[in-house]
A and B are shown apart, each in its own frame.
Chain A
Amino acid sequence: GENVEQHPSTLSVQEGDSAVIKCTYSDSASNYFPWYKQELGKGPQLIIDIRSNVGEKKDQRIAVTLNKTAKHFSLHITETQPEDSAVYFCAARVAGGTSYGKLTFGQGTILTVHP
């Protein structure tokens, strides 16, 4: 089955700096890659996603890049703010009817933005 590795496990930055979180996946049949943000005491929430037919997607201060050849994708947060502090999860979904929407998640990255 699919395996997703996420790095780093913790990331500490100063407010205003950029943060980058990287993930690799194992199954070349994966075609959908979402990123979820989990604030303390809450459930994860989708912040951005990308499909395999796109190399990059941006939404304000957040961007995701995908390299299908190398089987890795990254989350980029620019001009970080204290409210960006949270746990971030990447995930991958294998294409095909039998996938039934099943996501395989990475291990998570604890991002801390210091004022």
Chain B
Amino acid sequence: NAGVTQTPKFRVLKTGQSMTLLCAQDMNHEYMYWYRQDPGMGLRLIHYSVGEGTTAKGEVPDGYNVSRLKKQNFLLGLESAAPSQTSVYFCASSYRPHRGGGDTQYFGPGTRLTVL
């Protein structure tokens, strides 16, 4: 199993440009999450999904949109990138929490995004 993969690994954007980050998992997980990691601020939840076709806002959703058209994929979109969105983005997935083995979130390797 590849686990959780993220595409691309690195990206540089100019202010106002748009892009989509792709997350894929091959563990048949129901839940998927997008986080951003900034120095001194830990991991903050952007959006999450509890199943195919569903999405919900997390802690810092402004400026981002997501889609979960297929169970294995979770896309994060930036419609008009801003320098404040410079960060490392992590995708994670898990089984439905509260069931046996459902608590662990498995993280991808991250995407480093720079917005100039």
Residues in chain A within 8 A of chain B (CB atoms): 1, 4, 6, 9, 32, 34, 36, 41-46, 49, 89, 93, 99-108
Q: Are B48 and A43 in contact (CB under 8 A)?
A: no
Interface residue B74 (Cβ < 8 Å from any Cβ of A)? no
B contacts with A: majority SS: loop
Interface residues of B (CB under 8 A from A): 4, 31, 33, 40-45, 48, 50, 56, 58-59, 90, 92, 94, 96-97, 102-105, 107-110
Quick check: B41 and A100 within 8 Å, CB to CB? no
- 14 A-B residue pairs with Cβ-Cβ distance under 8 Å, sorted by A, are A4-B42, A6-B42, A34-B103, A36-B107, A43-B108, A43-B110, A46-B104, A93-B103, A101-B50, A101-B94, A105-B43, A107-B40, A108-B40, A108-B42
How far, in Å, is B100 (CB) from chain A's closest CB? 12
Residue in contact with B97 in the complex, picked from A6, A100, A107, CB distance below 8 Å: A100
**Closest A residue by C-beta to B107:** A43
CB-based nearest B residue for A100: B50
Please tell me if the beta carbons of B105 and A46 are within 8 angstroms of each other in the complex: yes
- Given contacts A105-B44, A107-B42, A100 and B56 within 8 Å (CB-CB): yes
